[in-house]
């Protein structure tokens, strides 16, 4: 399978501290890769480096064959941050039409994205009047407009009810099945089993890299949370 991301010796300094330490990993097309680890371990920093908005990145970081941050990558990457990044005073459709024009995406991409995130019945509602979960789905829809090859989603399911979480994971799986590389961060280990591959992180390092089954087998335990704890003990 194609490597969409290749990192070697990746380091990031924030403030005066190194927060990512010498990371080597890859991310493949057609898979959902989970970036899992406790709060503050460096997930957002890693995602920011991937999409090219993080300063003080050293080592090698290649995305879709170009150095991370290259201008040519912009339309090929969708990035959804933890805070919804859409206009409160516009409707769902107005927001998406605006972003489609900015991205040079076809007009038809707007209704497709609205359907994908299951907001058809809210398409004419002003974003301010939507629930938090609905608002984050508008951000996700905006990220889908240009049919990105790499989709980077920072904790997209936080605060969502189980039904919606299930639906969104279905969407991530569909996007991967259509060939995209989907990276999803979470600090909730119970989302691990939904991923094809996991990068388990702690304190700026990658503790383990593999499918959920491989990681559990390696640690000789039945669930990812136990595997995480066993791996932490091993590295002490």
Ligand X SMILES: Nc1ncnc2c1ncn2[C@@H]1O[C@H](COP(=O)(O)OP(=O)(O)OP(=O)(O)O)[C@@H](O)[C@H]1O
Which positions lie near ligand X, rule CB under 6 A?
14-15, 19, 37, 39-45, 187
* C-alpha 126: how far from chain center: 26
Q: Which is nearer to ligand X, 28 or 187 (CB)?
A: 187
The CB-of-83 to ligand X minimum distance in angstroms stands at 11
Which H or E element spans position 165? helix 162-177
**What is the side-by-side order of every strand in the sheet holding 32-36?**
77-80, 150-153, 181-186, 32-36, 197-202, 205-210
The CB-of-13 to ligand X minimum distance in angstroms stands at 9
Burial of 14 (0-12, 13-18, 19+ CB in 10 A): middle
CB 62 within 8 A of CB 36: no
Other Cβ atoms closer than 10 A to 217: 12
* C-alpha 97: how far from chain center: 23
Q: Which is nearer to ligand X, 41 or 127 (CB)?
A: 41
| Nearest C-alpha neighbor of 150 from the set 8, 29, 18, 44 | 29
The CB-of-44 to ligand X minimum distance in angstroms stands at 3
The CB-of-218 to ligand X minimum distance in angstroms stands at 23
The CB-of-26 to ligand X minimum distance in angstroms stands at 20
The CB-of-109 to ligand X minimum distance in angstroms stands at 29
Q: Distances from the Cα of 23 to the Cαs of 9, 11, 68, 137, in angstroms?
A: 5, 7, 15, 31
Q: Which is nearer to ligand X, 13 or 126 (CB)?
A: 13
């Amino acid at each position: 399978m194609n490597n969409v991301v290749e990192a070697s010796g990746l380091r990031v300094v924030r403030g005066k501290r190194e927060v990512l330490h010498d990371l080597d990993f890859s991310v493949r097309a057609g898979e959902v890769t989970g970036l899992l680890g406790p709060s503050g371990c460096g997930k957002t920093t890693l995602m920011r480096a991937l999409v090219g908005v993080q300063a003080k990145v050293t080592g090698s970081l290649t995305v879709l064959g170009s150095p991370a941050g290259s201008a040519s990558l912009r339309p090929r990457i969708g990035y959804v941050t933890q805070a919804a990044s859409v206009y409160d005073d516009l409707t769902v459709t107005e927001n998406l039409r605006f972003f489609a024009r900015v991205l040079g995406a076809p007009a038809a991409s707007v209704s497709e994205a609205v359907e994908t995130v299951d907001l058809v019945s809210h398409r004419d509602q002003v974003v301010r009047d939507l629930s938090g979960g609905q608002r984050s789905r508008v951000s996700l829809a905006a990220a889908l407009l240009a049919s990105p090859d790499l989709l980077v989603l920072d904790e997209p399911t936080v605060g969502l009810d189980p039904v919606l979480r299930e639906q969104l994971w279905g969407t991530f799986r569909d996007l991967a099945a259509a060939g995209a590389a989907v990276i999803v961060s979470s600090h909730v280990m119970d989302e691990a089993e939904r991923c094809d591959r996991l990068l388990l992180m702690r304190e700026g390092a990658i503790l383990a890299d593999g499918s959920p089954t491989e990681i559990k087998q390696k640690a000789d335990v039945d669930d990812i949370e136990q595997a995480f704890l066993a791996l932490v003990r091993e590295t002490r």
